[in-house]
A and B are shown apart, each in its own frame.
Chain A
């Protein structure tokens, strides 16, 4: 059992190898390589247009890469190339073992159906067929993301921005994924709501041992959540390292600029 656990954390979960994406002559992403281990939080920071979101889409298999490959270690322990997976397998992976938290909750939620059904959809998609149990699990998850269970039958349309974002997180985590992609999860929220959401995320990530790839332009988010940081500029990774190391002692001039541009509190 102990050996099994060791093996579990010893091998990378997600491996990107010289990943590139170009749109004609524009290279949105060039030669990005890294490994992500189970339970590890990796922040990708950089300015607008630096290729962060493109990289996230490449990693999550939503976009076909122009070069390089992404490999993922499936639940059965076999590491497989994402591009070689069939569409059905990829979509199943997306619904079960992965989560994707969008910046705009309206993209990740079904705004017209109730919160309970939003959380329950993934369960029903993997064959849960017992209304009582689905509802119980949904209530449980709403509590965990600090949403009042009395609002389980309300549509997310009636929710505030912060609640929507928390609901989106619950919807993604209900199937117990091992890897979650987040695209600016705190963008568009006011500062106090951001702080609360980050606090919640940090607890959940630690509790569930999630591996996370989080794209953000907010260095404070990277500082709070991530173990490792990758700094991108012009489609390239220019600096990578432990979060504290990169943010406290930046090597590249661009990273120094980025770090120094944060207003002191």
Chain B
């Protein structure tokens, strides 16, 4: 271990047991928000304090950790958390979705399909899907308890009345195991179908709001909709500019102040993997790399 001053994975063992109990309860009741005694973490709220606590509680010495932020392995948030666990737990880290056993994520589900030996840990800012419609916590808890979810459709109704279609593009509400309505954290609705019948265990941690919830492997997850306005995952209609992928979720990147932009995969590992396998998009720099030796010769 690199830093013996810390307990393995930063949190003390009693705290981890408390979090594991919450996780077990969450797995037992898919989609139900279990309150837990969230701890102060050495990072600000909004940086994934909930996700970090869940990860710390489930991490073992043999685990291989991957951390992504908006699909990317190399943003500040992702690097900070990866380094945090490399230092406090000494676990192996990776950027490869396939090799990882624990993946902590903010706002995305990896494009590469997950398998049974993996756990996906989401960082959740606001776990309550009904919050913006019903501000009282006592009332929303009662609504969950009695499965009164008419209000969730009111939100979708408002979308259609105002925009002509369901304009909710992220944090799109889902019903888990035909019982609890759940906020899938602010993932784009493009990712919603990946949650359904997923072989990996999905855990959600909200540090500030002190809630943990879960989707066990192979659980039914249905996106809410109307019969005449069915759920549709949204994707900008273009291939990735770097790897030419036609079916991945794209980020829009502004490249100058004259309105130029490019669309690239938000999942960097997926994009790099495809480029390494020889797929090249319209703006891929890879051909120039190939030519590099020639120019140095000349």
Inter-subunit contact A129/B150 (CB<8 Å)? no
| Smallest beta-carbon distance A127→chain B, Å | 8
**Which of A91, A114, A122, A124 has the most chain B CB atoms closer than 10 A to its own CB?**
A124
Inter-subunit contact B146/A121 (CB<8 Å)? no
A88 cross-chain contacts in B, Cβ below 8 A: 146
Q: Which residue of A lies closest to B161 (CB)?
A: A153
Knowing A87-B146, A88-B146, A153-B162 are in contact, say whether A117-B154 is a contact too (CB < 8 A).
yes
Flag whether B148 is at the interface (Cβ < 8 A): yes
* Cα–Cα distance between A91 and B142 once the two chains are bound (Å): 11
B157 cross-chain contacts in A, Cβ below 8 A: 116-117, 120, 124, 131, 134
Inter-subunit contact A125/B150 (CB<8 Å)? yes
* Cα–Cα distance between A56 and B137 once the two chains are bound (Å): 27
Inter-subunit contact A129/B226 (CB<8 Å)? yes
B228 cross-chain contacts in A, Cβ below 8 A: 130-132
Inter-subunit contact B227/A129 (CB<8 Å)? yes
Complex partner residue of A121 from B154, B160, B226, B229, CB under 8 angstroms: B154
Knowing A129-B226, A131-B226, A131-B229 are in contact, say whether A110-B154 is a contact too (CB < 8 A).
yes
Knowing A131-B228, A131-B229, A153-B162 are in contact, say whether A121-B148 is a contact too (CB < 8 A).
no
Flag whether B151 is at the interface (Cβ < 8 A): yes
Q: Which residue of B lies closest to A134 (CB)?
A: B157
Inter-subunit contact A124/B161 (CB<8 Å)? no
* Cα–Cα distance between A125 and B157 once the two chains are bound (Å): 12
The number of chain B residues with a CB under 8 A from chain A is: 17
* Cα–Cα distance between A135 and B154 once the two chains are bound (Å): 12
Flag whether A208 is at the interface (Cβ < 8 A): no
**Which of B133, B142, B226 has the most chain A CB atoms closer than 10 A to its own CB?**
B226
Flag whether A126 is at the interface (Cβ < 8 A): yes
* Cα–Cα distance between A190 and B87 once the two chains are bound (Å): 71
B146 cross-chain contacts in A, Cβ below 8 A: 87-88, 91
Flag whether B158 is at the interface (Cβ < 8 A): yes
Inter-subunit contact A130/B150 (CB<8 Å)? no
Q: Which residue of A lies closest to B152 (CB)?
A: A124
Looking at chain A's contact residues, is the secondary structure mostly helix, strand, loop, or mixed? helix
A135 cross-chain contacts in B, Cβ below 8 A: 161
B153-180 interface code vs A (CB 8 A; 1 in, 0 out): 1100110111000000000000000000
Q: Which residue of B lies closest to A132 (CB)?
A: B228
B131-142 interface code vs A (CB 8 A; 1 in, 0 out): 001000000001
A201-244 interface code vs B (CB 8 A; 1 in, 0 out): 00000000000000000000000000000000000000000000
Inter-subunit contact A113/B226 (CB<8 Å)? no
Q: Which residue of A lies closest to B156 (CB)?
A: A131
Complex partner residue of B161 from A117, A122, A125, A126, CB under 8 angstroms: A117
A104-120 interface code vs B (CB 8 A; 1 in, 0 out): 00000010011011001
* Cα–Cα distance between A117 and B162 once the two chains are bound (Å): 11
Complex partner residue of B148 from A120, A125, A152, CB under 8 angstroms: A125
A123 cross-chain contacts in B, Cβ below 8 A: 150
Inter-subunit contact A130/B154 (CB<8 Å)? no
- 30 A/B residue pairs, CB under 8 Å, sorted by A: A87-B142, A87-B146, A88-B146, A91-B146, A91-B148, A110-B133, A110-B154, A113-B133, A113-B158, A114-B161, A114-B162, A116-B161, A117-B154, A117-B157, A117-B158, A117-B161, A120-B157, A122-B150, A124-B150, A124-B151, A125-B150, A125-B151, A126-B150, A129-B153, A129-B226, A130-B228, A131-B227, A132-B228, A135-B161, A152-B161
* Known contacts A110-B154, A124-B150; 14 further A-B pairs (Cβ under 8 A): A87-B146, A91-B148, A113-B133, A113-B158, A114-B161, A116-B157, A117-B157, A120-B154, A124-B157, A130-B228, A131-B227, A131-B228, A134-B157, A153-B161
